Amino acid sequence: MKRSITLLLVLLLAMGALLTACGGSADTPAEEPAPAADTSADTSADTTAEEPAAAEPAAEEVTLTIGFTASQTGKQNVSSTRQVNGLNLWMKDVNDAGGLVLSDGTVVKFTAVTYDDESNTDRVQELYTRIATEDNADFLISPYSSGLTAAAAVIAEQYGKVMITTGAASDSAYKQGYTQVYQAYTPASRYLTGAVDLLASLDPDAKKVAFVYENSKFSTSVVEAAKAYAEEQGYDVVLFEGYDPETTDFGPFINKIEDAAPDAILGGGHFQDGSTFARQINEKNIDVKFFTLLVAPPEPDFADLGDAALGVIGPSQWEPLAAFTPDSAKEAGLDWYGPLGDEFVSRYEAAYDGEEPSYHSAGGYAAGLILEKAILDADSVDPEAVHAVLENMDLLLFFGHIKFDTSPEAHGLQIGHSMVYIQWQDDGSGNLAKQVVWPMEGATADTLYPKP
Amino acid sequence: MSGIRKYLGLILAIVVVLAMAAWPVINGKDITREVVFTMLLSVGLASSLNILLGYTGYVSFGHVVFFGLGGYVGFYLMAVHDWSLWTAMIAGGLASAALAFLLGKAILRLRGGYFALATIGVNEAVRAFINNFDPFGGPVGMSLNFQVYKNYGGGAREALWMSFYILVALTLLITVVTYMVRSSKFGLGLLAIREDEDAAEVMGVIAPNAKTWAYVLSAVFPGILGVLFFFKNGNIEPAPAFRLQMSIEMIVMVMLGGQGTVLGPILGGAGYQRLRGFLLTNPLFKNIQLAVAGVLLLVIVLFVPAGVVGWVRQRFPKLRRVLQ
């Protein structure tokens, strides 16, 4: 009896000790991020070069913290890494150039704080709370993918932190009453609407369109919006069919397409299914004038399909070829800001061992540029002033046109940027080459129409 | 005195949960709340799984299906039909319980590895179904309007704190339930099934019924927790709702703490998530945290199959009264 009471006492003491340890570590998490933040700044190619600052002793220097999570592990790893590379390059460019100088002489520099979100939502809110409250990030950048961004947006809104989203195309996150979230990407609802516009500009007589798409979150939301838009424009949707992501035989779908005899086919999903679909359409000699697929065509590997790739059109958030320049900005009546596309590509390749930037990389860089321009225009680092500038932002970057919806229903939704449409064409020597065919202000070639 | 001593195991378990819950309340930091939220969520899930895995000896590899399905049903009711969180949680729990009841009748006849495989199949099947079920948003999923949080205390911050307090209450409830099951006649029946199902039936335990109710009980709370988690998360999609890896983590937590004990899953869930959180934000381990978790499971299975609490109980029989 006595013994067990003694044992109990010992146990309670042990528990007490454990809890004290826990209590002690209550403060530790506050400190934990610091090394992580430092490391990320160190590893990200000397993002925070401090030397130029030392050369300008007159100005007061402010270092703003940009917080975000990256998918360092998990299925979003590749795209997320490219996005973060783009963002880090922007930060390095700004800091190397001596920071942003405001009218009162204040020099603004940037540092990053980041954690691994493992490509899943379990800890996104925990990590963003940490970034917002413990690391005191001044501005936030979204994780990669719409699902993670939706979870992070709740936290951004709660703490009133401006968050620029990139790599998050879904519309729904901007229709939930948020006021602090701004989207850099063209939303899913307009991913394919440009293709409909392109078709209209090419051939007013083409009226029958078919949608054949992958049954996944992204593709479904894209084609549902494109279908509604096409119907609005007076098109007759003769086929609307989803296929399973693992589909390898498109025979049944192609038979339906033959029966419906559309002028245009739109759809696809990701690389594997999209390229298989394109090849089988070619093998069966389907006579279609206009063929647009999601995701697959902008990939360089798509050219391996040979004849099957010729004439296929695909939407991309950004392409190295896209000729957005100060001149095209002038034509469109917009302000131009930031580096040219070529400059971005060469800097990126120099910074990351010759890796060609994808649109994810460009999106990361553009998110930084949007923030940079907003701080400069606000002439302040005050989040509210920056927020006010973002509300009225309307400019052209190498990434494209940036303008946000400010209505309460869809606040922060990107309404300026539009997709760039590429088409695989014959470069004259028998090889396939990607050309930008839409929008007009960024086009590098005329559209090959009808598709050969 | 003897009355209290009888419940020492329960009291200790409750004290541990309350101590965790008190941590953010005392320091008032939002980040601590988030850290403890993740820990308590795991404690709740692990304790629920423990009823099936620990008491009954049936390994469910697809237990996340109840978290996902409950979450989906509750989220649908909140987002589309404007139900309150409270009723949605109840509905989510009932939906999971109903699924477990039907499944229990069918797949609990399988034993050992066959049952484990079947549970994986069930998870995949339900995910495929949700992926093609338009009312639940199909592959696109659903989102909650930010304004919804204003109904719970005035703003998102209050709503997040409220979610935390609800989670604390739920975790305490789960703890009490697992304790009561363990010390009841029903629980003894389950333990008998774990040791030898045929012998248990000979001794008068109606195994099919007992197993089904254990399954239902272990499914109700994950369903409720799913609603709470996705309410706080703001959106739901098929992939994160039915993530098989989460099932495996739940098993790791139960085994780490000590399967078949009340305190085990509590320590296992909290300890595992605290460790993961530490590894994730620690620059040294950031990139190998999954490997560390894997090695941990291996070590436990090889050297301490009874888990932390089980090991202590074996080594120090005197503590058995307290460590239940």
pLDDT tens per residue, range A131-190: 999 899 999 999 998 888 988 998 999 899 999 999 888 888 888 889 999 999 999 989
Domain ranges of chain A: 32-186+317-418, 190-316+420-442
Cα distance between residue A270 and residue A293, in whole Å: 9
Task: For residue B29, list chain A residues with Cβ-Cβ distance below 8 A.
Answer: 26, 30, 133-134
In tens digits, chain B (324 residues) has pLDDT values of 567 777 888 999 999 999 999 999 998 888 999 999 999 999 999 999 999 999 999 998 889 999 999 999 999 999 999 999 999 999 999 999 999 999 988 888 888 789 889 999 999 999 989 988 989 988 888 988 888 888 887 777 888 899 999 999 999 999 999 999 998 999 999 999 999 999 999 988 888 899 999 999 999 999 999 999 999 988 898 888 998 889 988 998 998 898 889 999 999 999 988 888 888 777 777 667 667 767 877 887 788 888 888 888 888 888 887 777
Q: Is the pLDDT of residue A53 over 50?
A: no
Sequence-ordered strand ranges (E) for A288-431: 290-293, 313-316, 335-336, 394-397, 400-403, 420-426
Task: Provide the H-helix boundaries in B143-206.
Answer: 156-183, 185-195, 197-202
- Residue of A122, A155, A219, A244 best to disrupt the B interface, most CBs of B under 10 A: A122
Task: For residue B31, list chain A residues with Cβ-Cβ distance below 8 A.
Answer: 29-30, 126, 129-130, 133-134
CATH superfamily label, A32-186+317-418: Response regulator (3.40.50.2300)
Please give the angle made by the CA atoms of B255, B257 and B263, to the nearest 5 degrees: 130
Is A396 exposed, middle or buried (CB count within 10 Å of its CB: 0-12, 13-18, 19+)?
Answer: buried
Domains of chain B: 2-244 (1.10.3470)
Q: Which residue type is seen at A51? A: E
In this prediction, residue A38 carries a pLDDT of: 39
> In this structure, what is the dihedral angle of CA atoms A326, A327, A331, A337, given to the nearest 10 degrees?
0
Task: List pLDDT tens digits, range A248-284.
Answer: 999 999 999 999 999 999 999 888 889 899 999 999 9
Is residue A268 classed as helix, strand or coil in its secondary structure? strand
Q: pTM for this structure?
A: 0.82
- Residue of B67, B145, B235 best to disrupt the A interface, most CBs of A under 10 A: B235
Residue A220 and residue B131: Cβ atoms within 8 Å? no
Question: B9, B250, B40: which is closest to B166 by C-alpha?
Answer: B40
Residue A215 and residue B131: Cβ atoms within 8 Å? yes
The phi-psi region of residue A118 (left if phi > 0; otherwise alpha if psi is between -120 and 50; otherwise beta) is: left
In this prediction, residue A440 carries a pLDDT of: 78
Residue from the list B34, B145, B246 with its beta carbon closest to the beta carbon of A176: B145
Is there a shared CATH topology between the A32-186+317-418 domain and the A190-316+420-442 domain? yes
Residue from the list B143, B239, B282 with its beta carbon closest to the beta carbon of A32: B282
Instruction: Please state which architecture CATH assigns to domain A190-316+420-442.
Output: 3-Layer(aba) Sandwich (3.40)
In this prediction, residue B149 carries a pLDDT of: 86
Please provide residue B18's backbone torsions phi and psi, each rounded to the nearest 5 degrees: -65, -35
In this prediction, residue B287 carries a pLDDT of: 66
> In this structure, what is the dihedral angle of CA atoms B285, B289, B294, B297, given to the nearest 10 degrees?
80
Cα distance between residue A106 and residue B214, in whole Å: 66
Q: Does B140 touch chain A (CB under 8 A)?
A: yes
Asked if ipTM goes beyond 0.90, one says no
Task: List pLDDT tens digits, range A93-143.
Answer: 999 999 999 999 999 999 999 998 888 888 899 999 999 998 999 999 999
Task: Please give the C-alpha separations between residue A89 and each of A46, A347, B252, in angstroms, as whole numbers.
Answer: 10, 8, 40
Is residue A22 classed as helix, strand or coil in its secondary structure? helix
Q: Does B1 touch chain A (CB under 8 A)?
A: no
